[in-house]
Copies of this chain bind each other. A is one copy, B any other.
Amino acid sequence: MIKKNYGAWKYHEILSAGVMVHVAESGDKVFTVRAGSPRLVSTQTIRKFAEIADKHCGGFMRFTSRHNAEFMVTEESKVKPLVAELESAGFPVGGLGNAITSIIHTQGWVHCHSAATDASGIVKCVMDDLFEYFKTTELPGKIRIALACCLNMCGAVHCSDIAILGIHRRPPKILDASLKRLCEIPNVVASCPTAAIRPATKDGVPTVEIDENLCMFCANCFTVCPALPINDPLNDGVSIWVGGKVSNAMSEPRFSKLAVPFLPNNPPRWPEVVAAVRNIVEVWAKNARPFERIGDFIERIGWPRFFQMTGIEFTKQHIDDFKHAGLTYKRSTQLRHG
């Protein structure tokens, strides 16, 4: 069916939460059912997907660019049993149209040495909390949430409606004794974007020193040198960024901006992060106009009002101090007052 109508689709319609139909020039139809997945899946679960594909979809399935599972059938009557089977197997159907879909995320404590927070854990908690919005198609527009557990940003969160980003807040520790053995000192020095690292000698052993005032805790030095561990249970945590987008629809792609500079790591359910995300989602859901992504909405009402409406405090941390910072200062009198 997909082969036959390849390149000859005419239009689509969203039928209900998680279900849409594509109609081909030929008149053929394909019904897609989208189901949430935890992304981190066991082979048992993959075998289950294969089983469902065999039973309902002629042995085919696909995954989406946001790690959901998609199952396609060619007759409307086959949709209901498929949905029922997916739901009963624990894969909720939804995330299509104007809904919240899965959260793009990364490894966290499950597999990465760089992680300032866990990935899968926060994602699970936030999705549990926002589940009603996965099951709807009635939001003002799409909303994309992403999480990356450190500034390397493997989740490429920087253009998300809401980005959850693991951050460090202390300079790396310097393991003087093993540094020379494990790392190339010139590479380490070169790796630092703020030039905070200088070669040094301690107790006669070559090592490096770090100017704590210059360090912005990016961990790039740790990436090139294991003797500069930066993970830190007390000071690692999460920041929240909003208003980014990727698609060119209506407005151009844009970066997410800092909303909440820091929330603590509070496993297993990260209540502070969950509450912060919900707050932002709700302010947007209630006040945005149709098709407005979070960034479009804020652009219209202005950032000052966004801070007011969400109750998020505006602090010195919100003012950019990177080298392009001057371009971010407001250079007009177009302001809302009072």
> What interface size band does chain A fall in?
10 to 19
8 Å CB contact of A327 from B253, B324, B331, B333 = B324
Q: Please classify the interface of chain A as helix (H, G, I), strand (E, B), loop, or mixed, using the class held by over half of its residues.
A: loop
Chain B residues with Cβ below 8 Å from A248 are 332-334
Chain B residues with Cβ below 8 Å from A331 are 252-253
Nearest B-chain residue to A249, judged by Cβ: B334
Taken together, the copies of this chain in the complex come to 2
8 Å CB contact of A253 from B253, B323, B324, B332 = B332
Within 8 A of B (CB), among A291-338: 323-324, 327, 331-334
Nearest CB in chain B: distance from A158 CB, A: 12
Nearest CB in chain B: distance from A332 CB, A: 4
Nearest B-chain residue to A253, judged by Cβ: B332
Nearest CB in chain B: distance from A250 CB, A: 10
9 A-B pairs besides A252-B331, A253-B332, A327-B327 with CB distance below 8 A are A248-B332, A248-B333, A248-B334, A252-B332, A252-B334, A253-B331, A323-B323, A324-B324, A324-B327
Residue ranges of A at the interface with B (Cβ–Cβ < 8 Å): 248, 252-253, 323-324, 327, 331-334
